[in-house]
């Protein structure tokens, strides 16, 4: 189940993401829809938001990842990707940064569903650990 997130123009984020997928009407829309399904399967109470000029954002105690669409790829950027285990080397973009890591999916590209869901769960776990550490420091 997806928890409603922020809205733009009064529409729920999930509805705006649905519209974006439909408006793309090509491989990028179907790729974004598939990624969304995998994220929702990985973290049942994920929050969908729409930020930064209509970019889908999935959060759970902080941003997990964004789903940007470009002419030649769908880019999934993990906010804390540099801190996540990636044993199957899904990350293939933004590898030089200190925080983020991304997965670029070109037309016809595939995504290992099990590895991706594990990565999403790792991102959610990382956010939870960071919140717990912050709470301990605040005491």
Using CA atoms, how far apart are residues 139 and 135, in angstroms rounded to an integer?
7
- Strand spans (E) along the chain: 47-51, 55-59, 63-69, 73-78, 101-106
Higher pLDDT among residues 67 and 134, named by residue:
67
What's the whole-number mean pLDDT along residues 122-131? Answer: 88
What's the whole-number mean pLDDT along residues 9-29? Answer: 88
Q: What's residue 129's pLDDT?
A: 84
């Amino acid at each position: 189940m997806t928890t409603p997130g922020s809205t733009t123009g009064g529409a729920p984020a999930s509805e705006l993401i649905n519209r974006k997928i439909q408006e793309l009407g090509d491989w990028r829309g179907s790729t974004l829809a598939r990624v969304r399904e995998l994220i929702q399967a990985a973290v049942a109470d994920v929050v969908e938001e729409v930020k930064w000029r209509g970019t889908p954002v999935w959060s759970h105690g902080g941003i997990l990842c964004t789903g940007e669409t470009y002419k030649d790829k769908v880019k999934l950027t993990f906010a804390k990707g540099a801190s996540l285990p990636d044993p199957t080397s899904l990350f293939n973009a933004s590898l030089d940064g200190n925080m983020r890591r991304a997965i670029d999916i070109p037309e016809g590209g595939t995504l290992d569903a099990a590895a991706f869901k594990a990565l999403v769960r790792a991102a959610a776990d990382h956010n939870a650990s960071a919140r717990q550490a912050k709470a301990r420091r605040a005491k």
